[in-house]
Amino acid sequence: MHVATAAMKILVLALLVQIATAVPLSPAGRYGDSLRGPAQPCDKAHCNLPTCRCAGTDIPGGLSPDKTPQIVMFSFDDSLRVQDFDTYYSKAFPNRKNPNGCEIGLTFFVSGNDTDYSLVEDLYYSHNYEMADHSVDHREPTTWWENASKDEYTHEIMDQKSILEKWGNVPADSIRGFRGPFLVTSETEISVLHDNKFTYEATMGTQTNYWPFTLDYKSPICDSPSTCPNNSYPGLWLVPNINYKQSNGYPCSMIDACTAPQSEKEWLDFFMENFNLHYNDNRSPFGIYAHSAWFYYGPQRLAALSAFLDKLATMKDVYIVTHSQMLDWVQNPTPLDKIGDFAPWKCPPRPKPRCSYKSPSCQKEYGDFSMRTCTTPCPPRYPHYGDPDGN
């Protein structure tokens, strides 16, 4: 009797082990796996680079700060327009180089409607710029994004990706990230990104110097309980939006939302003080998050940004790279003394754009919007939600 009970126990135990092996509760993070149910606390034994990383302030690869390049990421959201590029971006960024001799990187989170796709193509192929996704419509109210269905999110995200590919000629596999309009996230949005094999999500804010991490396990960053990702999304990276500190004591999420700096000196001090909160701490990537509209409020802003870039250019351990290049480093942490040979940060070999934004191959008015693209012929209708081809 006792022997039979013991044998039964062993059998049950063996069965449990088999189930546990077949369906691991702590996935190591193979991208594209279907959802594994509720996210568990991170298990460092099963979460390893390059595909998995637990959330934390520790430097990837266990590097010390003095061996870690300070990454700076500039990103700009919403429609990408010639007027903004010619007036502001072109005066601050082109012709600047990182210590390895290659051009600095920028990331544009591009929404549809009013974006100039000949400019998208020209910038992508002429520079080290990354084109990321920011929805087709960027529609209001902000609550729409909290409640949008899976089908609605799929259209907003995937139709904009198609538009960037078809009308901006951006390679599909280079469109790797998404930022939610109005910095709103939801579990639905994250599941759509995971289903469609996006590399990273770049919306959620925090006041802690987290390095990016994957959503294999529970995220410590939540804007509100309704936006917390509760499930596991193996292999999808979360690039935290680390909030700025300003002199009035209030944190701010994007530089547009910061109200304390006014003069050129105050803006430069603001940039340097916030940069140093990363540089003198754990060297977590420092992001400058903005919209074109930030430049509109007086020339002191462009001057301060240029002065900040001048200061960074004197530092041999500072690299300004795109979001994807930043993640390349996180996945393969390479110490400063070997960074000159780090392949993902070398100058990207890209062919020339098919046309210049100064003379697009297609230029046509469609009611509220005008289309400018190097792709011909012009579409019969303006590409939009549900119809990225413009048929």
Which positions ≥6 away from 49 have C-beta within 8 Å? 60, 61, 330, 331, 332, 333
Specify the stretch interacting with Zn ion by CB under 5 A; choose among 10-18, 177-185, 280-288, 325-333: 177-185
What would the two tokens of residue 356 be?
Answer: 């210049």
Residue in the block written with tokens 């530092």: 315
Strands 200-201 and 177-178: parallel
Supply the DSSP string of 17-47, one letter for each residue. HHHHHHS-SS----TTPPP-SBPPSP-TTT-
Instruction: Provide the minimum distance between the beta carbon of 330 and Zn ion in the complex, in angstroms, as a whole number.
Output: 25
Q: Of 77 and 84, which CB lies nearer to Zn ion in the complex structure?
A: 77
CA dihedral 205, 209, 213, 219 (to 10 degrees): -50
Q: Of 244 and 275, which CB lies nearer to Zn ion in the complex structure?
A: 244
* Total site size for Zn ion, rule CB under 5 A: 3
Can the peptide bond before residue 261 be classed as cis, meaning omega within 30 degrees of 0?
no
What span, in angstroms and rounded, lies between the C-alpha atoms of 255 and 328? 25
From the centroid of its chain, how far is CA 309?
Answer: 21
DSSP state of 121: H
Q: Of 198 and 279, which CB lies nearer to Zn ion in the complex structure?
A: 198
Q: Of 190 and 268, which CB lies nearer to Zn ion in the complex structure?
A: 190
Nearest residue (beta carbon) to Zn ion = 77
Measuring CA to CA, which residue among 312, 287, 119, 107 is closest to residue 199?
A: 107
Instruction: Provide the minimum distance between the beta carbon of 193 and Zn ion in the complex, in angstroms, as a whole number.
Output: 16
Using CB under 5 A as the criterion, what x/- string covers residues 54-83 for binding Zn ion? -----------------------xx-----
- Is residue 189 within the footprint of Zn ion (CB under 5 A)? no
Q: Kindly state the helix (H) or strand (E) to which residue 244 belongs, with its residue range.
A: strand 244-245
Question: Residue 53 in contact with residue 212, Cβ under 8 Å?
Answer: yes
Instruction: Provide the minimum distance between the beta carbon of 182 and Zn ion in the complex, in angstroms, as a whole number.
Output: 7
Instruction: Provide the minimum distance between the beta carbon of 127 and Zn ion in the complex, in angstroms, as a whole number.
Output: 22
Specify the stretch interacting with Zn ion by CB under 5 A; choose among 55-63, 157-165, 174-182, 210-218: 174-182
What span, in angstroms and rounded, lies between the C-alpha atoms of 306 and 303? 5
Q: Of 181 and 348, which CB lies nearer to Zn ion in the complex structure?
A: 181
Instruction: Provide the minimum distance between the beta carbon of 296 and Zn ion in the complex, in angstroms, as a whole number.
Output: 15
Instruction: Provide the minimum distance between the beta carbon of 36 and Zn ion in the complex, in angstroms, as a whole number.
Output: 31
What would the two tokens of residue 142 be?
Answer: 């902000």
Residue 388, phi-psi category: left (phi > 0), alpha (psi -120 to 50), beta (remainder): alpha
What span, in angstroms and rounded, lies between the C-alpha atoms of 261 and 246? 8
Specify the stretch interacting with Zn ion by CB under 5 A; choose among 86-94, 178-186, 204-212, 294-302: 178-186
Q: Of 184 and 318, which CB lies nearer to Zn ion in the complex structure?
A: 184
Scanning residues 30 to 49, which ones bind Zn ion (CB under 5 A)?
Answer: none
Q: Of 77 and 165, which CB lies nearer to Zn ion in the complex structure?
A: 77
Instruction: Provide the minimum distance between the beta carbon of 160 and Zn ion in the complex, in angstroms, as a whole number.
Output: 12
Q: Of 181 and 240, which CB lies nearer to Zn ion in the complex structure?
A: 181
Instruction: Provide the minimum distance between the beta carbon of 180 and Zn ion in the complex, in angstroms, as a whole number.
Output: 8
Question: Residue 160 in contact with residue 133, Cβ under 8 Å?
Answer: yes
Residue 219: burial class (beta carbons within 10 Å; 0-12, 13-18, 19+): buried
Q: Of 111 and 284, which CB lies nearer to Zn ion in the complex structure?
A: 111
Instruction: Provide the minimum distance between the beta carbon of 388 and Zn ion in the complex, in angstroms, as a whole number.
Output: 19
Q: Of 27 and 181, which CB lies nearer to Zn ion in the complex structure?
A: 181
Instruction: Provide the minimum distance between the beta carbon of 55 and Zn ion in the complex, in angstroms, as a whole number.
Output: 25
Residue 75: burial class (beta carbons within 10 Å; 0-12, 13-18, 19+): buried
What span, in angstroms and rounded, lies between the C-alpha atoms of 312 and 40? 40
Where on the chain is the footprint of Zn ion (CB under 5 A)?
Answer: 77-78, 181
